[in-house]
Chains A and B, each alone.
Chain A
Amino acid sequence: MSNQIEKVYEGVVVDDDEYISLIHLCRYCNQSQEEIVELVDEGILEPIGSLKHEWRFNYSAITRVKKVRRLQKDFEFELSTSGLVIHLLDRIEELESRLFNLGC
């Protein structure tokens, strides 16, 4: 049996204050800039900043983009439908967490 001390990994807490740029988001999600712009126009992503190069996204945008595209593909939805579904899924998650905290 080895006496090696196992490495413990320390990550960085993804802060609500930590933002990524449009270029980074494109890279993390495998999307083109046009594809991300489409999501912003649809209201599915809400970056801060007014011009494209000024846009800053929360880290949560990465999961959101992947989810929307997955819904579009797997359910053959229009983009606007995916947007609505994501919005409702958010609501469900919020309600479930409130129920959990109430001890249900």
Chain B
Amino acid sequence: MEFKDYYKTLGVSKNATAEEIKKGYRKLARKHHPDVSKDPEAEKNFKEIGEAYEVLKDPEKRKLYDQYGSDWETGKQREEYQKQYQSGGYGSNFGFEGSFDTSREYSDFFETLFGSARQKGGFHRQQFQQRGEDIDASIKIPIMDAFHGGTRRINFTIQSVANDGRVTTIPKNLNVTIPKGIRSGQKIRLAGQGSPGYNGGENGDLFIKIEYEKDPVYSVEGADIYVNLPVAPWEAALGATITMPSPGGNIKLKLPADSFQGKKLRLKGKGIPAKPPGDLYVVINILLPPANNEKAKKVYEQMKDLNFNPRINFGG
């Protein structure tokens, strides 16, 4: 088991004052707290930071840690400590009677020093039953899966608390039905698939938050789907029947004459089949044929005869 340098974790010196330790912790918490940081490593990083702070902010724990830290250098002492830990009596030998943050998951190193938090009885008494923790997971799905329904595999971890208080983290994966019409941000609840209950308590639930993957063609707002449709200038000006892709397959769109750039055509009910179903919005995007040849340039020159002033509102 490796030694954890809590001072290094918090970026403070071994002689740091309580104030410096608090400052060091706060700075890192702001950066790495999973609720505030987008970093996927945030949860893991914060675990270390939180544990370091819990030890160093408490004068009793800090004293124990400092002593242990200097003794750690001696290999023999380390062996002794580990032997005692295995026999289960370590925590009480050190005589640590302080309090624990009972909701936290501690490293093996911490538990070697301070004993198992749950053994100390701070959390569970023998006959006490506890419902298992709910698990929050999230997965990204392609828009097509929301449109047609599908199945996805989801990976998550649950925590199991044995009667002796040891917590084991168990990876799980399930094949889950993605219901047709589910919107981004909605959650699916799988009852009983969360962490197992303690001492016969019921299992927690698994909540899966659905998020849409970024799509190259479609963008979504709520249940409405937006698609950019490139058209030629004459199609927009004179009108046209255009075959275009949609999540439900190709559709024939009747583009009215005199359509302007950015015009939105609403296809009711053709969005995400949620309750109620969303709409499909086709956004017209007029593209100019490139003016890189004589023929094109001639046509554009001719267009000048239309005497069209686009900046009429600018007073120009």
Contacts and interface: CB of A to CB of B under 8 A. Distances in A.
A94 to B, nearest CB: 10
A12 B182 CA distance: 11
Nearest to B131: A27
Contact of B176 (A11, A75, A97): A11
A103 B219 contact: yes
Interface in B184-212: 184-191, 193, 206-208
A11 B220 CA distance: 23
A23 interface: no
A11 B190 contact: yes
Contacts of B189: 11-14, 59
A62 interface: yes
A63 B151 CA distance: 25
Given A11-B176, A103-B219, A75 B33 contact: yes
B1 interface: no
Interface in B136-167: 136, 151
B104 to A, nearest CB: 9
A6 B221 CA distance: 34
Contacts of A102: 219
Interface stretch (A33-41, A45-53, A66-74): A66-74
Nearest to B151: A8
* Listed residue (B187, B208, B226) with the most chain A CB atoms within 10 angstroms of its CB: B187
B50 A74 contact: yes
Nearest to A10: B177
Interface residues of A, number: 26
A49 to B, nearest CB: 22
A6 B175 CA distance: 8
Interface in A1-45: 6-14, 27-28
B58 to A, nearest CB: 13
Contacts of B176: 8-11
A89 interface: yes
Contacts of B219: 101-103
B30 to A, nearest CB: 8
B29 A14 contact: no
A11 B177 contact: yes
A70 B36 CA distance: 11
B48 interface: no
B35 interface: yes
Given A14-B207, A67-B35, A9 B190 contact: yes
B134 interface: yes
A9 B50 CA distance: 36
Contact of B134 (A7, A28, A74): A28
* Listed residue (A10, A11, A70, A71) with the most chain B CB atoms within 10 angstroms of its CB: A11
A64 B15 CA distance: 39
A38 to B, nearest CB: 18
Contacts of B30: 75
A8 to B, nearest CB: 5
A82 to B, nearest CB: 10
B179 interface: yes
9 contacts: A7-B175, A8-B175, A14-B187, A28-B131, A74-B29, A75-B26, A97-B184, A100-B214, A101-B221
Interface of A: 6-14, 27-28, 59, 62-63, 67, 70-71, 73-75, 89, 97, 100-103
